[in-house]
Amino acid sequence: MSTVSAERQAQAAKQSRQLGTLLRETSSEIVLFVGAIVMMMPFLWMLSTALKTPAEILTWPPRLIPQEATLANFVTVFTTAPFGLWLLNSLILAVVSTLGILLTSSVAGYVLAKFSFPGRAALFTIILATAIVPFEVYMIPLYLAARDLGVINTLPGILLPFVIMSFGIFFIRQNVIASIPDELIEAGRIDGASELWIFGRVVMPLLTGPLSALGIFAFMQAWNQFVWPLLVANSKALYTAEVGLALFQTGFTINFGAVSAGSVISVLPILTVFIILRKQIINGVALSGLKG
């Protein structure tokens, strides 16, 4: 009798644990779903505003779903301003910046992780410290340096601050330490391989995931830049999409429909890249190791 009772108690305890696990998982999924809806609301509202007429935008109380959906705001964006050229400038800035950051971060991260030289720790500390310095702190010295170099109102001047990312160097260094053993590199050296060959044929293929994740971060950083392109570009022909959107706002009026339509168009490239490479982003961050 006692054996049967013990089995029933064990079964009841097991069912209780399963029920508790199910409730925790369900509550977590509900919280994540609600959080996702909250995070998507600004984008949904922006898309809704882009499809509304000027009269409906100012209607109170506001409505999320337009009653008379229209594409007129998207037409306005391209007919009243060279928005296509601004998108091209943003694309050039983002692509070149991403390639530059991937190159500099991979080289510097590998050197700081696998080479011993005097001052390595101090150099890495300085690089890491610059990651927490706000852009506003060195914005004016950087502008003066760009002026002295003669790159104001030029595309290279806009690209100047976005070819090196201190976080990228730190990120790749941590991944090299975590995923590339010293024995693998030493084996290549023993076989007579050059350092450049080892870096290109051994190290880089093992960093595909982290480099994909870093590439997304770099692309988003460059694409969303506003302050520096606004400072350096004096000609409208060099404006990026983020700077160009500000022209739809004047001191007294704001064309909410055009601003929203331009914002939707500006968000689409980042959203597309993220959707295509989302697995690489997750894997690159999850497998980063973050070992010092």
What is the SS3 assignment for 254? strand
Q: Cα–Cα distances in Å, from 13 out to 10, 20, 21?
A: 5, 10, 12
Q: Cα–Cα distances in Å, from 261 out to 47, 74, 89, 225?
A: 7, 5, 18, 19
Q: Are 82 and 237 in contact (CB under 8 A)?
A: yes
Which candidate, 40, 80, 88, places its Cα nearest to that of 266? 88
Between 282 and 71, whose confidence is greater?
Answer: 71
Mean predicted lDDT score pLDDT of the chain: 81
On whether both 179 and 145 belong to a single domain, the answer is yes
- Is 266 part of any domain? yes
∠ CA(240), CA(243), CA(249), 5° rounding?
Answer: 145
pLDDT(186) > 70: yes
pLDDT(291) > 60: no
pLDDT(145) > 80: yes
In the chain, how many domains are there?
Answer: 2
Question: How many C-beta atoms lie closer than 10 Å to residue 107's C-beta?
Answer: 14
Between 111 and 253, whose confidence is greater?
Answer: 111
On whether both 52 and 81 belong to a single domain, the answer is no
What confidence tier does 252 reach under pLDDT thresholds 50, 70, 90?
Answer: low
pLDDT(189) > 80: yes
On whether both 151 and 33 belong to a single domain, the answer is no
On whether both 141 and 18 belong to a single domain, the answer is no
Q: Are 169 and 105 in contact (CB under 8 A)?
A: yes
Structure confidence at residue 35 (pLDDT): 85
Stated as kind and residue range, the H or E segment containing 198 is: helix 195-198
Q: What is the DSSP letter of 174?
A: H
Q: What angle do helix axes 83-114 and 120-130 make, rounded to 10 degrees?
A: 150
- Is 68 part of any domain? no
pLDDT(249) > 80: no
On whether both 45 and 78 belong to a single domain, the answer is no
User: Mean pLDDT across the stretch 272-277?
Assistant: 77
Range of the domain at 190: 74-286
- Is 62 part of any domain? no
pLDDT(92) > 80: yes
What confidence tier does 102 reach under pLDDT thresholds 50, 70, 90?
Answer: very high
Q: What angle do helix axes 256-276 and 2-50 make, rounded to 10 degrees?
A: 140
Structure confidence at residue 262 (pLDDT): 83
Cα dihedral across residues 43, 48, 50, 56: positive or negative: negative
What is the rounded distance in angstroms from the CA atom of residue 258 to the CA atom of residue 238?
20
- Is 21 part of any domain? yes
- Is 69 part of any domain? no
Q: pTM of the full predicted structure?
A: 0.77
On whether both 193 and 114 belong to a single domain, the answer is yes
Please report, as a single letter, which amino acid is at residue 271. Answer: L
- Tell me, what CATH number does 253's domain have? 1.10.3720.10
